């Protein structure tokens, strides 16, 4: 599938610029369109400060409205400077209504966002990339805060464990991987994977014209998430492709997990599907 229609989901002011900059590169590369969204949500003062005087509550709501307007103005100025203003739009919370980012995402090819902000002033509007990947049925590209590469990645790392979500992520990313100079498939486990099944996987990539290799790490002394990130650094990969949540999001949030840890600490963009 060719990606042409991108949704940029707000995930906090510090994350927005990095995601927006990368989204613009993707729009140029794919000759696509970009829609930015800020989800609806009750501000903290609506939920927890019902005893505030009406005038103060009104002032706080006005400040909230102004914050969204400032974000929209910044978006429009940035896409105009990039020459894609005729292919870009900013959707206000009132236009979305009560729809969640996952529900909005189903009308687009791919979601671009940053890791979810937990700042008190942004939390109610900040999209959760892992939740979008889990519930939207669309792939999500998560851009680290402060990430600013000159161009798109020419070397991608595919984190492969042979499970359903990894296969889904690889399939969803195939049209992107076809444009890369090289793809490295990484497996992390105590035992080496079955050579025959890895041959099938590499052959599938080759039939798509993708130059690829397989690296296996035992993960000894390292968490899998750290092994993935360190390997990406070592081989110069600027994109990580991985499946999201083979176990429940609840268990990963409580006990930790590969998806959650990679998203929180990744130094390059992460493409994931569920």
Domain termination site, one of 120, 142, 164: 142
150 is a domain residue:
no
Assess whether 131 and 166 both reside in one domain.
no
Domain termination site, one of 142, 173, 206: 142
The yes-or-no verdict on residue 261 having pLDDT over 50 is yes
- The number of CA neighbours under 13 Å toward the Cβ of 117 is 19
The residue segments making up the domain with residue 178 are 155-273
Assess whether 99 and 182 both reside in one domain.
no
Average pLDDT, the chain: 87
Assess whether 104 and 168 both reside in one domain.
no
Helix%, strand%, coil% for the chain, nearest 5: 45, 20, 35
CA distance 180 to 19: 20
CATH at residue 52: 3.40.50.620
pLDDT at 96: 87
pLDDT at 256: 45
Backbone phi and psi for residue 64, each to the nearest 5 degrees, phi listed first: -65, -45
Assess whether 76 and 198 both reside in one domain.
no
Q: E-assigned strands of 117-228?
A: 140-142, 155-159, 182-188, 212-217
The yes-or-no verdict on residue 46 having pLDDT over 60 is no
147 is a domain residue:
no
Question: What ranges in 54-194 are assigned the alpha helix state H?
Answer: 54-81, 93-96, 101-105, 129-135, 164-177
User: Looking at the 3D structure of the chain, how many domains does it have?
Assistant: 2
Q: Which residue has the higher pLDDT, 117 or 202?
A: 202
**What number is the average pLDDT over the span 258-262?**
85
Residues near 80 by Cβ (< 8 Å), separated by ≥ 6? none
Assess whether 238 and 168 both reside in one domain.
yes
What percent of the chain has pLDDT above 90? 61
What percent of the chain has pLDDT above 70? 86
CA distance 213 to 159: 12
Assess whether 137 and 98 both reside in one domain.
yes
Q: Which residue has the higher pLDDT, 102 or 64?
A: 102
Assess whether 123 and 206 both reside in one domain.
no
Please state the separation of Cα 88 from the chain's center in Å: 19
240 is a domain residue:
yes
CB 210 within 8 A of CB 216: no
- Tell me how crowded residue 15 is: count the other CB atoms within 10 A of its CB: 26
pLDDT digits (tens, 9 = 90+) for 166-189: 999 999 999 999 999 999 999 999
Assess whether 34 and 110 both reside in one domain.
yes
Q: Whole-model pTM?
A: 0.89
Helix (H) or strand (E) segment spanning residue 115 = none
Question: What ranges in 163-194 are assigned the alpha helix state H?
Answer: 164-177
Q: Which of 27, 7, 26 is nearest to 112 (CA)?
A: 7
Assess whether 263 and 160 both reside in one domain.
yes
């Amino acid at each position: 599938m060719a990606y042409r229609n991108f949704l940029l989901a707000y995930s906090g002011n510090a994350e927005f610029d990095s995601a927006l900059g990368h989204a613009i590169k993707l729009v140029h590369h794919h000759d696509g369109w970009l829609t930015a969204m800020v989800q609806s949500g009750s501000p903290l003062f609506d939920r927890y400060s019902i005893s505030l005087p009406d005038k103060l509550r009104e002032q706080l709501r006005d400040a909230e409205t102004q914050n969204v307007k400032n974000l929209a103005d910044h978006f429009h100025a940035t896409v105009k400077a990039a020459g894609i203003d005729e292919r870009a739009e900013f959707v206000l919370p009132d236009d979305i209504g009560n729809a969640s980012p996952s529900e909005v995402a189903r009308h687009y090819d791919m979601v671009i966002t940053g890791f979810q902000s937990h700042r008190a002033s942004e939390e109610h509007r900040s999209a959760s990339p892992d939740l979008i990947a889990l519930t939207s049925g669309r792939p999500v590209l998560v851009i680290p805060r402060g990430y600013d590469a000159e161009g798109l990645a020419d070397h991608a790392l595919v984190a492969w464990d042979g499970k359903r979500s990894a296969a889904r992520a690889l399939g969803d990313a195939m049209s992107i991987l076809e444009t890369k100079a090289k793809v490295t498939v990484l497996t992390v486990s105590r035992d080496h994977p079955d050579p025959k099944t890895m041959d099938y996987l590499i052959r599938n990539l080759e039939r798509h014209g993708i130059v690829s290799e397989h690296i296996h790490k035992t993960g000894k002394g390292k968490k899998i998430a750290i092994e993935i990130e360190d390997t990406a650094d070592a081989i110069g990969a600027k994109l990580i492709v991985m499946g999201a949540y083979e176990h429940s999001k609840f268990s990963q949030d409580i006990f930790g997990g590969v998806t959650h840890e990679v998203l929180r600490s990744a130094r390059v963009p992460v493409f994931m599907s569920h």
